[in-house]
A and B are shown apart, each in its own frame.
Chain A
Amino acid sequence: MVRHVVAPVAEIPPGGRKIVSVAGRQIGVFNVGGEFFALLNRCPHQGGSLCLGERIGLVLSDEPGVYRYSRPGEMLRCPWHGWEFDIRTGQSWCDPKRTRVRTYPVAIEAGETLMKGPYQAETFPVSVEADYVVVEL
């Protein structure tokens, strides 16, 4: 596994996202209330650019007419056919076991730490003062 520095933390504020290209793969990096998640930008259904989809909340119900809205911005709606995916797990709502998008571990590292260890950051220089989003794949 190689650790890739994909963006300074400040570039992806809460609610924000960035599509990055890492080792030939398109990956969506999402900030959910300060936590970061990385998903392959390829919908497991038919290959749509899932990570460009609308970020929506999760609505559930135990009874017709009752809408239980939760987790605003934590679901992704695929722009191709509208399937919903959980940004935290990559699972689709309708078929969580079998239909899930590939996820990657994400960490926040201080520039200082990154200076020491092995990492790759092809597109921008890393500075000691900033924090960075690091995706492993």
Chain B
Amino acid sequence: MTVQLRDLGPIDCDVHPPTPRMAELLPYLDPHWREVMVGRGIDGLELASYPPGSPLTARPEWHGPDGRPGGDLEMLKREVLERWGVRYAILNCLHGAMAMFSEDMGAALARAVNDWIAKEWLDRDERFRASILVTPRSPELAVAEIERRASDPRFVQVLLLAAGETPLGRRAHWLIYAAAERLGLPVGIHAGSAFHQPMTSLGWPSFVVEDYVDQATTFQHQLLSLIAEGVFTKFPRLTVVLIESGVTWLPAFLWRATKEWRALRSEVPWVDRSPIEIVRDHVRLTLQPVDAPAEPERLAAVIEELGSDDLLLFSTDYPHWQWDGDDALPPGLPERLLSKVAVLNPRATYRRLAASEPEESVREESVARGIVS
């Protein structure tokens, strides 16, 4: 598998640069916010969903010399770009800007992080692409930031956290979807919580393991909310990417959602197709972590139940500790999916990637690498 993946020049759809410290962001904040951050001593805005010391947050060898998860630019280039021959890596910076209660502070920080990413990462290696961070608490400010950054084609997606204030299908969020659709940006929903609400529908759990395992149900709630509230009817060209969702909960969820839709669809008449069809047309999932059976040969059967070869997008989820050794692709992933997952699906999902390559050269290169015949 290893050699083949490299040969394809995969597109890594979920890579995390180290979360910038406040000192690194200060040059990107305006004087008011700079003074606020320094004056109040605000720092350490890692998301609480990814505590820097948690084993999940970084594989042991993917800490920098100072212990920082993800290390630095050189480490990321070596461990992701060089190691897998990555063609593009989409950087999803997990930063507390997305979780602020203050709309203005959230917007100022999101703006700073986006500009930091552009300058410190995108400008330094042409294989980098990035998601636009926004403050979902204020859809207006989020849209302003999307519009500001979308003029740079290296930003290929809008990033939201899986658990924010309210269910993502709610109309309050529609301004964001309208902007994303208009600008050809998928909306990436990344595991993690702003912790404005309990992570479970039962209330607050006690342990990180509960937070993290429950992410899979959070994704289900959000996907159902997006479908039931009619987001994909309202925005027919919108794509949503579920990032770090675990993947294999999806078939059982769709069986249930489709069964109940048949009975209750008159309550949501705008859901005029089955959830299975809607997901096939509008939803994509990054590959890691994939919640797989212990026996690799059984994974194919589970993947088969997704009912489409177009849904999965290659991701290492660097530096999160989701897999060991060189198994960036889960053992047992059917061979026939390899080029779809590694290159074709990401390219079809993130249309801005394709826009930066002349069509003719893409085709020639794809034939040469055996991606298409």
Q: Which A residues fall within an 8 A CB radius of B?
A: 56, 59-68, 81-84, 92-95
Contact = CB atoms under 8 A, between A and B. Distances in A.
A55 B44 CA distance: 60
Given A62-B233, A94-B274, A67 B262 contact: no
A109 B179 CA distance: 62
26 contacts: A59-B266, A59-B269, A60-B269, A61-B233, A61-B272, A62-B233, A62-B270, A63-B233, A63-B234, A64-B171, A64-B229, A64-B230, A64-B231, A64-B234, A65-B171, A65-B230, A65-B270, A81-B259, A82-B263, A82-B264, A83-B262, A84-B265, A84-B266, A92-B262, A93-B265, A95-B262
B234 A60 contact: no
B233 A81 contact: no
Q: Which of A56, A61, A64 has most B Cβ within 10 Å?
A: A64
Given A62-B270, A84-B265, 5 more contacts: A60-B269, A61-B272, A82-B263, A94-B265, A94-B274
Contact of A68 (B234, B263, B265, B269): B269
B74 to A, nearest CB: 48
B84 interface: no
A63 B270 contact: yes
Contacts of A59: 266, 269
B268 to A, nearest CB: 8
Interface in B240-280: 259, 261-266, 269-270, 272, 274
A81 B266 contact: no
Nearest to B267: A59
A67 to B, nearest CB: 6
A64 B270 contact: yes
Interface string B219-235: 00000000001110110
A83 B266 CA distance: 10
A68 to B, nearest CB: 7
Q: Which of B231, B265, B269, B272 has most A Cβ within 10 Å?
A: B269
A82 B264 CA distance: 7
A135 B190 CA distance: 59
B44 to A, nearest CB: 40
Given A61-B270, A67-B269, A83 B263 contact: yes
A64 to B, nearest CB: 3
Q: How large is the interface on B (under 10, 10 to 19, 20 to 34, 35 or more residues)?
A: 10 to 19
A63 B232 CA distance: 10
A16 to B, nearest CB: 23
B264 A63 contact: no
Nearest to B262: A94
Contacts of B266: 56, 59, 84
Contacts of A81: 259, 262-263
A72 B269 CA distance: 15
Contacts of B274: 94
Given A60-B269, A61-B272, A62-B270, A94 B233 contact: no
Contacts of B265: 84, 93-94
B311 to A, nearest CB: 22
A64 B264 CA distance: 15
Nearest to B229: A64
Contacts of A82: 262-264
A63 B230 contact: yes
B262 A60 contact: no
Contacts of A64: 171, 229-231, 233-234, 270
Nearest to B228: A64
B118 to A, nearest CB: 35
Nearest to B265: A94
Counting from the closest, the 5 A-B pairs by CB-CB distance are A64-B230, A82-B263, A61-B269, A61-B270, A94-B262
A62 to B, nearest CB: 7
A94 B270 contact: no
Interface in B269-315: 269-270, 272, 274
A126 to B, nearest CB: 40
Contacts of B234: 63-64
A70 to B, nearest CB: 11
Contact of A60 (B261, B264, B272): B272
Contacts of B229: 64
Contacts of A67: 269
A59 B233 CA distance: 16
Contacts of A60: 269, 272
A69 B315 CA distance: 45
Nearest to A58: B266
